Structure 1
Amino acid sequence: MVSSSALVSSALFCLVFLSYYSQNTRGEDFATVSVASLLPSSSCTPNAAQRGNSLQVINRNGPCSGKQLSKLTQVSSLAHDALRVASIQARVTGSWANYNSTLLGTQISIPARSGLYLGSGNYVITLSLGTPTKTQTVIFDTGSNINWVQCRPCAVACYSQAEPIFDPVQSSTYRNVTCTDPLCTGLSIRGCSTGTCLYSVTYGDGSSTVGFLATDTLTLTPTNVLNNFVFGCGQNNRGLFKGAAGLLGLGRSSYSLNSQLSGTLGKVFSYCLPSTDSLTGYLNLGSPLKPPTGFTAILTNSRAPSLYFIDLIGISVGATRLNLSPTVFRSVGTLIDSGTVITRLPPMAYAALRAEFQARMTQYARAPAVSILDTCYNFASGTTISYPIIKLHYTSLDVTLPGVGVFYPVGGSTFCLAFAGNTDPAQPGIIGNVQQKTFEVTYDIPGNRIGFATAGCG
């Protein structure tokens, strides 16, 4: 017969064991982060200097911009983000209505049925163009192909920008591309004026640029100079680019910067987006600064061959892998994009993620939905939060998101889950830049793969 004291001791042991097991299970499922680390400070804190062929990346809305670039609130950024996402999804599904774009005012009108490019993103870099060099701060965008800057004399319209507008007359290495040049005939949307090639790009948010296709010397770093860099010299530029001098495309076409550098740097590039707007990241051209911990294959969508699709097959919240078939993601496809802010998921996938996340966050007060974000919390009562770890599963690669990849600050002490559901199951998923923060994301085009390295930047 077992004594009562033995039963008590056994019960106490079980309680201690269960308590220990529960705490450690939670430790494996949850992470703790300070609320302050999710927010930018009022001053800029640059990361360590980059090496080799890398350029400093800053958020155009943060204190590191320092050049009076246009600034958006977090909520207005979401509205802008929705425009970009709509353009991506329409481009992939082929649902754009036909329309015309006008080149250089009323001079020439040509069809623009091949689809819209994606447009103004969040992050900018500074480079030098021409001889002698002139500094230009431009948006970089993996969803775009044509590089361009505003150019004098701004024959129709230019918006305000931080640096002086580029003047091709002052560059001894500037050349216009002729209408018969293969560089011109290779454009999907082009025109011709007195023998000079015209380009036109219309973006999904309604922004646009029109001008002369040209070449000049591009100085990325003191040791990396690209002669005969092909770019658009914009004479009619409108929209949401204000403050930036133009755009640098990192898509998969022959006109993008990475393609033009392929002869010297092997068509490999990587970037690290900082955790907050008060820190800096980098865009690296050539071999990555940190070797990726793993790779997943780049896939191609025939409707949008210049975009980077990857094979998302599942999501975990804590130790729970959501009960979703890979076909939920594969039937519509998933692309990764530097310019989209909030990750978009198929409706079924987002509903499962939201339900599991909310069930594990009941200790925190809910806050009202903000724009497209419907799972929001008020963290005013504490300095730290414990949240369920979110892991994205790709073919051959699992990526665990840091706290800044889970929450999006929308003002004050309110933070929202940085995911949203598509309105239509036929729309593709998009991995946004919030879920890319702090990783060095490597695009190995010859190897047809994308890799992630943790702690690429602060």
Structure 2
Amino acid sequence: MATLNYSSTFLFLLLSTVLHVLLLGCSGKVEAYRFEEMTANLQRRSHVVSLSSLIPTGVCSTPAQGAKTSSGLLQVAHKNGPCSPLKEGNAKLHDFRQLLIDDQARVKSIHSKISNKDPLEDSAVKVPATSGQSLGTGNFVVTIGLGTPKKPCTLVFDTGSDLTWIQCQPCVGQCYSQQDPIFNPSASSTYSNISCNSASCNQLQSATGNSRPCGSTCIYQVQYGDGSYSVGYFAADTLTLSSSDVFPKFKFGCGENNQGLFGTADGLLGLGRDPVSTVSQTSQKYGKLFSYCLPSSTSSTGFLAFGSQVGTSSKAQYTPLLTDSNNPSFYFLTITGISVGGKSLSISQSVFTTSETIIDSGTVITRLPPAAYSALRTAFRQAMSKYPTASAYSLLDTCYNLNGYSTVSIPTIVLHFSGGANLNVDQSGILVQASSTQYCLAFAGNSAATDVAILGNMQQQTHEVVYNVAGGKLGFGAGACS
């Protein structure tokens, strides 16, 4: 079986360093330091990846214990993986082509929203929605409690959405099939509908662009770029995140007419910046501070934390968190450059300022401006020139046939942000398995230079991503989850 040996460059550096240390008679401490420094320099240039680590397994490597009991800390799992409370089956893990199709639908929706275009006007009517398939608006789920007595609700969490909503009885229109029992408002002693002429209802209409007429109670409706939708009452009930973190009169959508590509999740947890989002509604306790770590594999878990960071936050590197007045819900960042294999790519700053950049938990594959992606692709292909190429796979155009290889050496990819923050992309976010022998670069280019760039969730994996919304900054802390 073919494997990659260490490069001659590595051997030269190793021998040179050892010889230098011996000749100078340096102490053992200095010798260890120089060796570690040299190894770190090599690691900044390449990763040696076991291909088996990129293949999903059917066994959860972290015991699925549900939400942790500490304040504001929830367990995160890939919604289709073995650690998920949703038992949708692992067969969908291998439907990677459909995942990319759904991902592209989400990206087009984001681009349309930010550019103030609406190519899918009234899409809930025009686009047929199919229940039970993967949703392009998020891949990771958490379980929260809602109502009195509290009922567990497993929700996709999404930084690109504001309104939290769940399916509710009775389904006066139609409801898709979900795993948990559908929430029954009449069984909760703390449930109430929000009146139509209230400030909260006006706030909702401003946030969602909802112009639907209502009588005595406030009605919400949300539509997604793939034609999925949810319609129902804007309501309030008790939200429970942990035994000590309980929020009375939490405002959410109680959907009685829902259809689309939501899998078997109960609904969606909105983590955008609008006043109706979970981040804003819990701000008195958490101060608009939250973080998450997305696992590198569908067979392991991460976390979503409110009000405090976990693990690596003290070592996080921060970049300014920007706001676009035309799109105030999204989290904007500024990319300043990209390095591949330890070398900075020659990309004009205007490439990134022309497009702007957002970070999004629901987009899977990072989208870069065409010129930036072209430079990244060229450098990556040069570093991978010894491996046999394969045909493109959906939107991924840089692929390799690695049949017969057990390990490969891939170049490091570092995304540089304003303020000096660097995101050293985990190896799981660089090379992705598309088929049994086909592995592809997990980045894609936008169609136009003006399309907003999107930092997707695959490139965020294993990092604690810290959203200090009140402080106007976002951080990356490496190695926070596996």
Could you tell me which amino acid in structure 1 is paired with residue 54 of structure 2? Answer: L
Contact 2:47-2:411 within 8 A present in 1 as well: yes
Please, which of 326, 349, 367 is the counterpart of residue 303 of structure 1? 326
| Aligned-residue offset at 1:209 | 0.6
Contact 2:124-2:229 within 8 A present in 1 as well: no
Please, which of 109, 120, 128 is the counterpart of residue 87 of structure 1? 109
State the distance in 2 between where 1:434 and 1:97 align.
27
Encode CA deviations 1:253-305: one digit per residue, 9 max, x unaligned.
00110111100111100000000000011110111113142100111223311
Encode CA deviations 1:21-69: one digit per residue, 9 max, x unaligned.
6997755411212112222221112179754311111111212224333
Encode CA deviations 1:59-105: one digit per residue, 9 max, x unaligned.
112122243337461111000000000011111111225845889xx
Please, which of 49, 53, 73 is the counterpart of residue 33 of structure 1? 49
Contact 2:112-2:119 within 8 A present in 1 as well: no
Aligned to 1:151: 168
TM-score (norm 2): 0.85
SS of aligned partner of 2:212:
strand
Q: How does 1:25-424 map to 2 (within 5 A)?
A: 28-46=44-62, 50=68, 51-69=70-88, 71=92, 73-97=95-119, 99-100=121-122, 120-186=137-203, 187-188=205-206, 189-290=210-311, 291=313, 292-396=315-419, 397-424=421-448
Could you tell me which amino acid in structure 1 is paired with residue 118 of structure 2? Answer: W
| Aligned-residue offset at 1:379 | 2.3
Could you tell me which amino acid in structure 2 is paired with residue 257 of structure 1? Answer: T
| Aligned-residue offset at 1:119 | 6.6
Encode CA deviations 1:141-169: one digit per residue, 9 max, x unaligned.
00000010000001111000010000001
State the distance in 2 between where 1:321 and 1:293 align.
22
SS of aligned partner of 1:377:
strand
State the distance in 2 between where 1:299 and 1:293 align.
18
Is 2:450 aligned against 1:447?
A: no
- Range moving further from structure 2, 26-35 or 126-135: 26-35
| Aligned-residue offset at 1:404 | 0.5
Change (3 A) 1:101 1:173: farther
Could you tell me which amino acid in structure 2 is paired with residue 443 of structure 1? Answer: Y
Q: Which has the higher strand share?
A: 1
Percent identity between the aligned chains? Answer: 45
Aligned to 1:10: none
Number of equivalent positions: 429
State the distance in 1 between where 2:462 and 2:263 align.
26
Contact 1:317-1:388 within 8 A present in 2 as well: yes
State the distance in 1 between where 2:348 and 2:473 align.
23
| Aligned-residue offset at 1:193 | 3.6
State the distance in 2 between where 1:446 and 1:144 align.
18
Change (3 A) 1:304 1:21: farther
Q: Which stretches in structure 1 are left out of the alignment for 5+ residues?
A: 1-15, 104-117
- Range moving further from structure 2, 187-196 or 316-325: 187-196
Could you tell me which amino acid in structure 2 is paired with residue 81 of structure 1? Answer: D
- Range moving further from structure 2, 441-450 or 399-408: 399-408
State the distance in 2 between where 1:143 and 1:444 align.
16
SS of aligned partner of 2:389:
strand
- Range moving further from structure 2, 43-52 or 254-263: 43-52
Aligned to 2:25: none
Change (3 A) 1:69 1:48: closer
Q: Which has the higher helix share?
A: 2
State the distance in 1 between where 2:263 and 2:379 align.
40
State the distance in 1 between where 2:368 and 2:138 align.
20
Aligned to 1:456: 480
State the distance in 1 between where 2:154 and 2:401 align.
36
Contact 1:124-1:140 within 8 A present in 2 as well: yes
- Range moving further from structure 2, 139-148 or 86-95: 86-95
Contact 1:252-1:307 within 8 A present in 2 as well: yes
Contact 1:47-1:281 within 8 A present in 2 as well: no
SS of aligned partner of 2:285:
helix
SS of aligned partner of 1:195:
coil
